[in-house]
Chains A and B, each alone.
Chain A
Amino acid sequence: MSEAGTNYINHEKGLKSWLTTVDHKRIGLMYLWSVIIFLLAGGLFALMIRFQLAKPELDFISKQTYNQAFTLHGVIMVFLFIIPSIPAALGNFVLPIQVGAKDVAFPRMNLASFYIYVIGALLALAAIILPYLPSFQEAGWKPLDAGWTFYAPYSKHTQGPVIMMTTAAFILGFSSIFTGLNFIVTIHKLRVKGMTWYKMPLLLWSIYATSILQVLATPVVGITLLLLIMERTLDIGIFDPALGGDPVLFQHFFWFYSHPAVYIMILPGMGVISELISTFSKKVIFGYNAIANSSIAIAVISFFVWGHHMFLSQQTTYSSMVFSFLTFGVAIPSAIKIFNWVATLHRGSLDFKTPMCYALSFLFLFTIGGLTGLYLGTLSTDVMLHDTYFVVAHFHYVMFGGTAIAFFGGLHYWWPKMYGKMYNETVGRIACLIIFVGFNITFFSQFFLGSTGFPRRYHSYAGDSHVAETWRSMSGLSTIGAVILGIGIAIMFINLIISLKTGKKAPKNPWGGTTLEWETQSPPVHENFEGDVPPLEKAPYTYS
């Protein structure tokens, strides 16, 4: 039993108490602020890219800098923001409370995961910053420009610090594996009495599916990056055709991880949305079993679709056929989830609090993201759209419109629980609206760029060709959208940060949630619950 007024934040004080904590909530917060910093850093690179492409033939940044900007944007957003965002930051905070446990199964391993993340992130930062320092430039260092995909043999020959960055990604992989392993065991062993598998909150299902992917798929990219490092240092001749290696093999290895990784990124977002939609509709989630099972189905099928990134890489027509077919197979469970969410709204009691605004944005954006995937799964239209801005628009609708929006929604949902403070609702909603509008302007325009053939990763484009009119107008529009988007995100974070100082005190259950984290005080006490958690009687989302 703890004294009145104490919680996990004031339970112990001082920097050391944070750095050595094994409390999942504190680790969650440290993850949270790390990923937010990287989101903003990645966003700055995104703005650089958009400014350079605002008009034809600009020289806002040089072509070298442009290539570095999109590489760093990709690396930072994928490895340092999206992958850890929901599972490691929000998940760490919420998951143990939702199962009714005092902590994760292996608290020290959890802290280790965070420190591994920090080491990986610092190494990545070094790889980003060092090449710009004069003394390193004199020593012949060049910034990284191989793209976040590190395709061989370009990644072998380019002079950037590929080894350093891939080592960073290799290390970050362990952080991901540690977290995944921890969550799997926590969900298996620490659920409160009475919480059977099909009485788990849906966030747990999706994080469970994610964790399995993390544990099984991440080693593959680790080995791939290690082989790339060996190729660069020892010339082992596995990817470099000049040595008899096969550059396409790299792509197979890379996507064998990175396609499941796409679901590592989106599944937790889907879990968050299930929570939000049910809570703010004050209604039981429609098709609980279908949503839970489709998470597992997505996780399983996602291992067998990596070849759809390689329809034009000279893989055989036969394998393209199989990969195309399986890709449509993974589309179905995602579609089912969307239908279930919309059906949950039916006859609900919809309360448009900020998290709900993000959840509804998610429905809108993720629907577009999912549907535009159909063009890319279909072989003939993929030939037309492969490696154009259509693909860029598609995966931003999924990764940003899906995962990042779900992350923002979850952040607003659990913020009162994390800090015990309520933010300003009106400002929160306005920020959500600005983000929604900015996002659509930024990325919907890119579908038209892509369908007229604008290739990815071009640092500029001619103002004088037969497609110039579309390219000029859509690219300019996209840049305007990016600025709006940036403003929206800034307002959102400022609103949250201000609430820490001036926000009203949050009640135990400000939203009427039905899962266990709303049973404890805000912010929770040191070991989550006052005393023992009684056995679970009602399934989650039971309102009537």
Chain B
Amino acid sequence: MANMIHRLAFTYPPDASTFAKDTDSTFTFITWVCIFFFVLIVGLMFYYMVKYRRRSEDEVTPHISHNLALEVVWSVVPIILVIYMFYVGYKAYDKMMDPIAIIEEVGPDGKYIDLYVNGKQWSWDITYPNSEVVNSISSLRAMENGKTGWKFKRLKERLPLLDLVDASENGLNDAFKAKVDEVLKDKSIFSPEGENADFLKEDLPGLKKDLEALKTYSGDEFKLEVKSLYKKYSTFSDYMTVPLGIPVRLNMTSNDVIHSFAVPAFRVKKDVIMNRTSVIWFKATKPGLYIYTCNEMCGVDHGHMIGYLRVVPQDEYYKFEKSLVGPKDPWEEGKKLYAACSACHNLDGANDGKSGPTWKGLWGSTRELSDGTTAVVDEEYIRESILQPNAKKAKGYENGVMPPQPLTSAQIKYIIKFMQSPNQKPEKK
């Protein structure tokens, strides 16, 4: 009995981030306070119900109008308790909501990761920093429907395709071919049994063909082809993937209506709003598969904005990031996007009467603003200037003629890449 009560009253989602412990201990504290007062109030009520039930119609009751001492006690004790709750709640919240507080969790290697998250009706786009790839993650429901069903995807997790991507780094050599042959001969993959085996079988002739076709490519094209194949068949690109033990900051914005991004296992959640960047951060502490949800009513398929978030060891995370197929070159992508900007912004600093400031030497410089203050041109400044051009106006450009540019996080990153070196493509590291 006690065990059952304990299990029910203290049911938490898995605790998979550094915040979980703190939030859960506050939760547990409040639960004990609740149990205490509930037992006190309802216990007394039931006790009085039995003890003071009416036994005859002419019973006389004492006239007790009040009792000051008692009233002071039952006012002051709750006040003290709630002040404590307020304090611990605020302290944890302050850390969660502060984008700078992430520094406290950064390890000696100095690593943290900025992911860019775009909410839209009804899925999330994640941009990973190193791959510059927009990865649209699927909802659990989309995964569960039909042939691309979720169970089917779980089966496919067994496919050792990530190993293939890894092996392809060295080009199409004998070792790689041997690996492909190994996969092709694997009975557990190509002759699956059990529930949902039919789903798998249906898709596998395609996989076989694609695997064999790999041998016809070479060089960079070959590497790209392996990644495409991975994306096509892997489950993982449908999950949001984050590393274990490295603080991750989500920079979130919305394309259409208000969403809210929540990961119950991390105890974090925040509304995602158009034209604003909302930031949450966390450090995952346990590898595994957790759900994320959208918690703000966002339309017909609001209930479909639920999916899986995967916490993986760091080396696997970096492998995953590399495996994503993205644009060949972010700088080139940025250059393409610049075409639209070129109507108002030049790159050579010439005084050609264009209505916007030049991009020459812009990146990293300190700008004088129209209100007399200054600002450093960094990622945040550019992001804001694109999404809300009139939030900070540069001196000399008070007219504010630039309309807001509804670009995705990824597109903004491409532009920044281009802006960092607008006249010359940076050399690859």
Write the residues of chain A forming the contact surface with B, with a CB cutoff of 8 angstroms: 57, 63-64, 66-67, 145-147, 151, 153-154, 157-158, 241-242, 244, 247-248, 281-284, 286-290, 311-314, 317, 320-321, 324-325, 328, 331-332, 335-336, 338-339, 342-343, 345-352, 360, 363-364, 367-368, 371-372, 374-375, 377-384, 386-388, 448, 451-453, 455-462, 464-467, 470, 542-544
- Cβ-based interface call for B274 (8 A): yes
Residues of A within 8 A of B260 (CB): 312, 386-387
Cα(A381)–Cα(B78), bound, Å: 18
* Residue pair B59, A349 in contact (C-beta under 8 Å): yes
Please give the distance in Å from B150's CB to the nearest CB on chain A: 7
Contact A379–B78 (Cβ < 8 Å): no
Distance of A350 Cα from B56 Cα, bound (Å): 10
Most chain B CB within a 10 A radius of its CB, from A146, A158, A336, A345: A345
List 8 other contacts, CB 8 Å, given A314-B273, A543-B60: A287-B65, A336-B74, A345-B45, A345-B52, A347-B64, A381-B26, A448-B8, A460-B303
B75: chain A residues at CB < 8 Å are 332, 336
Taking a contact as CB atoms under 8 Å apart, the answer to whether A314 and B267 are in contact is no
* B290 contact set on A, CB distance < 8 A: 466
A464 close to B144 (CB less than 8 A): yes
Query: How many pairs of A and B residues are in contact by the CB < 8 Å rule?
Result: 286
B262 close to chain A: CB less than 8 A? yes
Nearest-CB residue, chain B, relative to A158: B299
Q: Which residue of B lies closest to A316 (CB)?
A: B97
A368 to B38, CA, bound (A): 7
Known interface pairs A380-B92, A383-B23, A467-B13; A317-B97 also in contact (CB < 8 Å): yes
A-B contact pairs, 19 of them (CB 8 A): A145-B300, A154-B257, A324-B86, A324-B89, A336-B75, A339-B41, A343-B67, A346-B48, A364-B45, A379-B89, A379-B90, A383-B93, A383-B269, A451-B13, A461-B306, A462-B141, A543-B63, A544-B61, A544-B62
Most A CB within 10 A of own CB, among B19, B82, B88: B82
Contacts known (A247-B258, A350-B49, A452-B264); A343 close to B70, Cβ less than 8 A: yes
Of A328, A342, A467, which one neighbours B291 at CB under 8 angstroms?
A467
Are A381 and B27 interface neighbours, CB within 8 A?
yes
Q: Given A67-B300, A153-B258, A462-B306, do A248 and B82 touch, yes or no (CB 8 Å)? A: no
Residues of the A chain whose Cβ atoms lie less than 8 Å from the Cβ of B294: 455
Return chain A residues, CB-CB under 8 Å to B303. 63, 66, 457-461
Known contacts A248-B273, A314-B276, A317-B97; is-contact A465 B258 (Cβ 8 Å): no
Q: Nearest CB to that of B154 among chain A residues? A: A464
Q: Is the CB of A349 within 8 A of B26?
A: no
Residues of B within 8 A of A464 (CB): 144, 150-151
Count of B residues near A, CB < 8 Å?
93
Interface residues in B257-293 (C-beta closer than 8 Å to A): 257-258, 260, 262, 264-265, 267-271, 273-276, 278, 289-291, 293
Residue of A nearest to B289 (CB): A466
Interchain nearest-CB distance for A159 vs B (Å): 11
The reply on B295 being an interface residue by CB < 8 A is: yes
Q: Determine, out of B29-37, B206-214, B359-367, the stretch whose residues face the partner at the interface.
A: B29-37
Does the CB pair B291–A466 fall under 8 Å?
yes
